[in-house]
Amino acid sequence: MSLVYEIGAVGLADGAWLKLAFKFYSDWALFQTSDPTGANYVSAEYHAAAPFSGQSPATVRGLKVRFDQKGHERPFQKAIIIDVVDGYLNPGDRIIIRLGDRRQGGAGTRAQTFVEKNFRFRMFIDPLGSSKFAEVPGDCAIDIVPGTPHAINLIAPRLAEPRQPVRVLARVDDIWGNTCRDRVIDGRVILSCPDGSTREERLAFASEGWAATEIALSFGQNGEWRLRAEADGVQVEPAIAYVQVEPLKGGYHLYYADLHVHSEDTVGTNDTYYNLSYGRDIAGLDIVGYTVNDFNITEAKWNEAVGLIGELNEPGRFVCYPGTEWCGNSAAGGDRNVVFLRDGKPRFPFDDEGRSVRSFEWNEFTAGTIRPGVWPVDELWAAYADDPEGHLMIPHVGGRRCIFDWHHPELERLTEISSAWGQFHWNYVDALSRGHRLGASAASDEHQGRCGGGAPATAAFGSRGGLTGVFAETLDRASIGKALRARRTFATTGERSFASLRLGQSWMGEVVAADPAQPLVYRLLGDKGWEEMSLYDADRLIWTRNLHEEAGFSNRRVRLRFGGARIKDRYRAAYWEGEIAVTGAALLGHRGVGFDHPEQCAWRRDATTIGFRSATHGDVDGVELSLSDVVGSRIEVRADLYGYVKIGDPLQPPPHIDAPSINLSVSGAELLASGAINLDIPGVELRISLECITEKSLPRDLEGEIGIDALQLAKGREHPLFITARQTDQSRIWTSPLFLSL
C-alpha cells in the first residue's frame, strides 16, 4: 500500500517532521524499518517537484523513518514518523510512504484483522520544526471487510429448560473471527437427542448484511442434546454445541452478559448501534452493558447513546444498560466501571447537584489543558453511594488496573476476572484475601466491534473476551440488576459454559453460616471436556480434581503448557518462542491447544522437533505431543520469553528481563511417575509445564459434593469459597464465592 503526501504552500523547514498515524487499538502488524527484505517494512521516499522559474531546489538530503506505538495523541497514537534530514522541502514536493514495501523482497504487510468501516490514516505535520503538529485535512480512509468464509459459529445456552423456546444463533465467520457479509449460504443444524434419535432444522443465513440466522428450538427430552451446524456447498468448518436440558434449581433462569462494550464514541471500533446490535443479533447475548471512557465522551454523544440504549432495551428479549469507565490511574484506585441499573437518565456526566462525575475531561477535540474531575475513586463512590441499588461498580484490569486498597462494599459487588486484556485470577484472589465480598464477572472490554466473547486480535487485546453468566428470575433491568448485585454469577473466558456452587438452598454470592453436615454441591457444564477443577478459599487452593489422572494417563501422549503474564500492568503479555525436542521415541504428531488466532501456532521443524510461537496475557496455551512410547523418551523444551514492543524495532523485542530464556529437560519415565513437571517463572502466574494427559474422553458434565469437614476450615472467620475449572482447550470458568462462616 502506498500513500502520497504532497507538501503544502508553506513547504517544510529543515528539522521538520511528519507523522502518519492510526488508532492505537488497531492490530495492524507492527511496522519495521530495519529489514527491507522482511514483512511489514515501511519506507518513505522523497520526490522533488519541478521548480518554478527562478525557484531554488529543495536542499533536503534524505528522510529518516521510524515507527512508534505511542508516537502521537490518543486515539491516533500509532505513528510512522518521518524526519526531514539536513535541509528543507519545497511546496509541491512529494513523499511516498510505502506500507509493506515489497521492492526488496518483503512480503508486504498484514492489515488489521478485525472489521472496521472507514479505518483512517491521519497525517500530522510539524512544518516549522518546532514540535507543534497540525492535522492535515482529509484522512486516507479504507474499509476493512471480512475475509472468505472459514467456519460456522453456533451459539446456544449450555443449560435450557424442558419444552421452553430456546434462542439458537448460527453465523459464518472468517479465519479471524469476523462474521462474513452478503453471502448466499444455506445450511442445517442436526440435533442429536438424548435417546439417540436425530432431527434436522434448516438454516438460511441472511444474504444481505451479516451472514447469520436465528432459530427457536424446543427440547422435549431431558438430558444432553448435541447440535451440529453445517453449510451446504461451501467449504467451511462445521460447529458443534451442547445443550443440557433440565430445570434450573432455585426457580432461576440462565442468561449471558457482556457488561463492558465500547464503541467509536470513545476508543472502540464502529458506531454504538453496530456494537450493541452485534451483541444482540450476532453474539446472541441476553444482556449488554455499553461502556464509555468517562473522560473521553462528549455530552452530546452520551445523550445520543443513552437514548439508543433505551430503544434497544426490550424486556424478555434483550437487556441493555448504559455505563461508564472511570479511568483513574492505579495510584488513585484504578479502573472502575459504573453500570446504571435503573431506567431514566443516569447521573453522568453530572450528578444531581451539577458537579462533574468524570475522572477528568479530555478528548481529541478538547482545547486547552486537561480538566480535573472526581479523583481518587473515593470521590466517585460519593456520587452514587446514596443509591447503591441503582448502581453497580465493577473494578477491572485493563490498561490502568484496579487496586483493592480501595473498595466500597455496597457499590462494588463484582470484579472482572477475564476480558480481552487477559485473565486475572490473581486479582480475584487478591480481593477475596483482603476480605472484600466480590463476585465473579467477565466481559469483553471490547474495542474491536465484536463483543460477547469475540475472537481476539493480535495486539494489546490478545485474549478472548469474557462473559458473565447470570441467574435471574426474569430478563429485565430490575431482575438482572438484582441478580448482579446479589453476586449470583459466574465468569467464563467467552464460552457459553456453566458453573454453579451451592450449599443447601444458598447460592454462590451469598453469605451463609455452614452446617458441617451439609456438603458443597457443584455443577459444571462445558463443551470440550473438563480436565481440572479446583476449590479455593480466597487465595488458598484447598481441594482439586485432575480429570486426566482420574481417567488414566496415556503412555503415548504428553503436553507442554505455558502461560501467565509478565507484569500486572499494561503491556503485560508474555511472548513465547521456542521448540520441543524429543529423543528416544518417535514423534508421531502434534496439536496446538489454547491458541487464539492464526499467528499463534506450532509446527514441525524436523523429525524430532516442534517449534511454537504464541503470546499469553494471563491465559494458557500448549502443544500436545503423540509419541511412540513416553517411557523411553526424553523431552527438552527451549524457549525465549519476550515483552511488548512499545518503542523500538519490532524485530528486536525486549527480553523478559527476569527470565529471558527457559530450559526444561525431562525423561518420559520421570514424567509418568510424577504426572507433571512444572517450572515457575518470575512474573504473574508465569509457568511452563510438561504434563501427562489421557487419551480418553473427558466429561462435559461434572457434578459432585465436597464435604465441609474434609476441608478443615478454620473456625471463627469467613471463608470465600469458589470453584474454578479448565477445559481441554484451556478455556476457564470461575464461580462467585460462597462466603461461608463456621
**Mind spelling out the 3-state secondary structure of 381-448?**
HHHHCCCHHHEEEEECCCCCCCCCCCCCCCCECEEEEEECCEECHHHHHHHHHCCCCCEEEECCCECC
Instruction: Give dist(CA 141, CA 606) in Å, integer.
Output: 44
Q: What pLDDT score does 366 carry?
A: 67
For the chain, the farthest-separated pair of C-alpha atoms sits apart, in whole angstroms, at 100
pLDDT < 50 regions, the chain: none
Could you tell me which of 685, 663, 669, 688 has the C-alpha nearest to residue 677?
688
Q: What pLDDT score does 383 carry?
A: 95
Instruction: Give dist(CA 366, CA 308) in Å, integer.
Output: 25
Architecture of domain 553-692 in this structure: Sandwich (2.60)
The answer to whether 2-141 and 255-496 have equal CATH topology is no
Could you tell me which of 264, 312, 313, 314 has the C-alpha nearest to residue 291?
264
Question: Residues 617-667: pLDDT tens digits?
Answer: 999 999 999 999 999 999 999 999 999 888 888 999 999 999 999 999 999
Cis, peptide link before residue 349, omega less than 30° from 0: yes
Q: What pLDDT score does 515 carry?
A: 86
| Strand ranges (E), 548-683 | 557-565, 574-583, 587-593, 601-606, 609-616, 620-627, 634-642, 661-667, 676-680
Residue 597, all three cell numbers: 488466532
Residue labelled with grid coordinates 455452614: 514
- The domain made up of 255-496 is a member of CATH 3.60.9.10: no
Q: Which long-range contacts (CB under 8 A, 24 or more apart) does 54-57 make?
A: 55/90, 57/90
- The domain made up of 149-245 is a member of CATH 3.40.605.10: no
Task: Give residues with Cβ within 8 angstroms of 281, minimum separation 6.
Answer: 169, 210, 212, 214
Could you tell me which of 375, 361, 359, 289 has the C-alpha nearest to residue 326?
359
Q: At what angle do helices 299-312 and 272-281 cross, to 10 degrees?
A: 30
Q: 512-547+702-741, which class in CATH?
A: mainly beta
* Strands lying side by side in the sheet with 676-680: 587-593, 620-627, 557-565, 684-692, 676-680
Q: What pLDDT score does 371 carry?
A: 76
Angle, vertex CA 55, rays to CA 53 and CA 58, nearest 5: 140
What residue segments make up the domains of the chain, in order of their start? 2-141, 149-245, 255-496, 512-547+702-741, 553-692
What predicted TM-score, i.e. pTM, was given to this entire model? 0.96
Give the CATH fold of the 2-141 domain.
Immunoglobulin-like (2.60.40)
